[in-house]
């Protein structure tokens, strides 16, 4: 389990300030597939992910789920609704058992007003997320389904013994939700990549055996 002081929000705080801020964070345990945040609900808390993994997603009017992000230990979420005092802009659900630090709205605003270093770290983090989101939108908006899958695979993968591996278990529907395509289209592309020897799939991971083609 990651320690709270490892989070970016505490980068510029003095030890005594960190101690005070942490006194406002309370630990909670959540089971797998627990809905933590629901899109449209009032915003009351900031969340620090200490252990486990969560997905951030949207549902369209037809009930189709679109995954826009996943968070791992060291990530925090829920700050936008508190800063802007607006309803939640997306939903969050646990993908496995999680331990999460929770800071209530009143305490969050107290920390913002009391510790300028806390506010600066938050602004830096929000700026980074905006830049990353803008770049992702730019790339995906100009790509076809195959290219979006290829970019997603490269983003999620990590190098192990000279090959790139996606350690996260991805279903066809999960990939479809990430790239905004139908499950059937994703299934056809994955089959072609397997037949071509570009990827190998098992129940828990995907291995990228050689560089994926630029187009399909």
The pLDDT tens digits for 124-136 are 999 988 888 777 7
Tokens of 71: 């968070």
167: confidence class by pLDDT, cuts 50, 70, 90: confident
Kindly report whether the global pTM for this prediction surpasses the value 0.75: no
Query: How far apart, in whole angstroms, are the C-alpha atoms of residue 184 and residue 191?
Result: 11
User: Radius of gyration of the chain from Cα atoms?
Assistant: 19
144: confidence class by pLDDT, cuts 50, 70, 90: confident
Q: What is the pLDDT of residues 83-102, one digit of tens each?
A: 988 999 999 999 999 999 99
64: confidence class by pLDDT, cuts 50, 70, 90: confident
140: confidence class by pLDDT, cuts 50, 70, 90: low
Give domain 144-208's CATH number out of 1.10.10.10, 3.40.980.20, 3.40.50.10300, 3.30.450.20: 1.10.10.10
Q: Which residues contact 195 (CB under 8 A, 6 or more apart)?
A: none
Looking at the predicted structure, is the pLDDT value of residue 115 above 90?
yes
Angle 114-117-122 (CA atoms, 0-180°, nearest 5)? Answer: 100
- CB 71 within 8 Å of CB 49: yes
- Give the residue extent of every domain in the chain: 4-140, 144-208
Mean pLDDT of 29-56: 95
How far, rounded to the nearest angstrom, does the alpha carbon of residue 185 sit from its chain's CA centroid?
24
Res 18: pLDDT: 93
Res 141: pLDDT: 63
Res 48: pLDDT: 97
Nearest to 213, CA basis, from 151, 138, 139:
151
Nearest to 153, CA basis, from 170, 139, 141:
170
Give the CB-side neighbour count of residue 127, counting CA atoms within 13 A: 7
Tokens of 178: 């990430």
145: confidence class by pLDDT, cuts 50, 70, 90: confident
Give domain 4-140's CATH number out of 2.60.120.10, 1.10.287.610, 1.20.1560.10, 2.70.98.30: 2.60.120.10
């Amino acid at each position: 389990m990651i320690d709270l002081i490892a989070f970016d929000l505490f980068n510029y705080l003095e030890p005594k300030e960190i101690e005070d801020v942490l006194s406002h964070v309370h630990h909670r345990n959540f089971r797998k597939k627990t809905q933590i945040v629901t899109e449209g609900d009032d915003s009351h808390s900031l969340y620090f992910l200490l252990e486990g993994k969560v997905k951030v997603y949207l549902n369209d009017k037809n009930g189709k789920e679109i995954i826009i992000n996943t968070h791992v230990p060291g990530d925090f979420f829920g700050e936008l609704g508190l800063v802007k005092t607006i309803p939640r802009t997306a939903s969050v659900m646990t993908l496995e058992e999680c331990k999460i630090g929770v800071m209530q709205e009143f305490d969050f605003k107290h920390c913002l007003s009391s510790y300028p270093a806390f506010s600066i770290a938050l602004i830096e983090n929000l700026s980074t997320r905006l830049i990353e989101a803008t770049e992702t939108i730019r790339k995906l908006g100009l790509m076809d389904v195959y290219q979006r899958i290829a970019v997603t695979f490269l983003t999620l993968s990590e190098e192990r013994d000279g090959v790139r591996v996606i350690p996260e278990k991805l279903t066809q529907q999960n990939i479809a939700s990430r790239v905004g395509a139908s499950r059937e289209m994703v299934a056809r592309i994955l089959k072609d990549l397997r037949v071509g020897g570009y990827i190998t799939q098992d129940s828990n991971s995907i291995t990228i055996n050689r560089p994926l083609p630029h187009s399909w």
